[in-house]
Amino acid sequence: KEEIAAFRRRLGIKVEGSDVPAPLAEFSQLPAAKTRSAAAAESAAHARGALLSAIEASDWTEPTPVQMQAIPAMAEGRDVLAAAPTGSGKTAAYVIPALMLLGGDAVTKGEGIRALLLAPTRELAAQIHREVERLAAGRKLKACVLSKALVAGSRGQGGLAKNDILICTPMRAVAALRSGALTLTRVRLVVLDEADKLFDAGREGQAPEDTFIAQVDELLAACPSTAQRALFSATLGPHVKELATSVLRDPVSISIGTPNA
Ligand code: ADP
Ligand code: MG
């Protein structure tokens, strides 16, 4: 207990919440995803191996502080609020647990979209997609950035549901949902990245039902209520705190360094 507290203090990791799991000091301690059957366990073990290889290929020697604390919390299925400075590796802090969650790909292949990663701009969504592709090397998982063109071209052939991971802005996801092109009934994880910037992205000149909060509410309502939720941000201003309070359930809250709020 005290060792853990000292370790966190040394790395500038602050945590709040009930039963916060110990930080992950090394990638090699990455837990295997929780599974329900022997076949799923085998598949999860394969997923863990592929993930460790992909991390090794990235030349990352150790997890960053936000990764150390967010990965085990998310791997336990907890909702997470994480605030850490720009450039501190927040993307992998949720992409790694997302890829663990989708561990049983041999068993659950073609189930539809199970992870929804939301970002304030299409450029950020494209960056997240690149990180997902890199870390999903050696896996059968499919990820895509939702665009107008993709929605138009995805009728038939299983449509968007042939992807496991969908990355986009809340506005784009809501449009696809309303048009019937997108189904979120299989989603197990929703991440809001750059949550502070999401607020700037959707404010001026929009109808009340199209504010960012309303869009997020509409998306969450279309997902199973049991879907895990996580919120990542560089800052912890009042907007982000308010969003966290309304969206997260019994979260593990993590902040790294002095949040530049
Ligand atoms: P943030 O979202 O917090 O601004 P990013 O996720 O964009 O940060 O990561 C910033 C950079 O750090 C990226 O180039 C990423 O590949 C790299 N990175 C991520 N995790 C690690 C790690 N554990 N060790 C070294 N570099 C890392
Ligand atoms: Mg980021």
What are 98-127's pLDDT values in tens digits?
999 887 544 456 688 999 999 999 999 999
d(CA 193, CA 117): 7
At residue 26, does pLDDT exceed 80?
yes
Is the CB of residue 81 less than 8 Å from the CB of residue 253? yes
- Tell me the pairing of strands 13-16 and 228-233: unpaired
Residue type, 246: S
d(CA 155, CA 162): 11
Residue 129: both structure tokens together: 């997609």
Q: Whose CA is nearest to atom 17 of ligand 1?
A: 89
84-88 long-range Cβ contacts below 8 angstroms, 24+ apart = 84/232, 84/234, 84/254, 84/255, 84/256, 84/257, 85/234, 85/256, 85/257, 85/260, 86/234, 88/64, 88/256
CA of 94 to the centre of ligand 2 (A): 10
Residue appearing with tokens 């879907």: 227
Rounded to 10°, the helix 90-101/65-75 angle is: 20
How many other C-beta atoms lie within 10 A of the C-beta of residue 170? 25
Mean pLDDT of 52-61: 94
pLDDT of res. 206: 63
Taking the model in full, what pTM does it have?
A: 0.93
The mean of the pLDDT values for the chain is: 89
CA of 90 to the centre of ligand 2 (A): 5
% of the chain at pLDDT higher than 70: 90
Q: Whose CA is nearest to atom 20 of ligand 1?
A: 89
Q: Tell whether ligand 1 has an atom less than 6 A from the beta carbon of residue 60.
A: yes
Atom of ligand 1 nearest to the CA of 62: 23
d(CA 107, CA 121): 33
Mean pLDDT of 9-21: 96
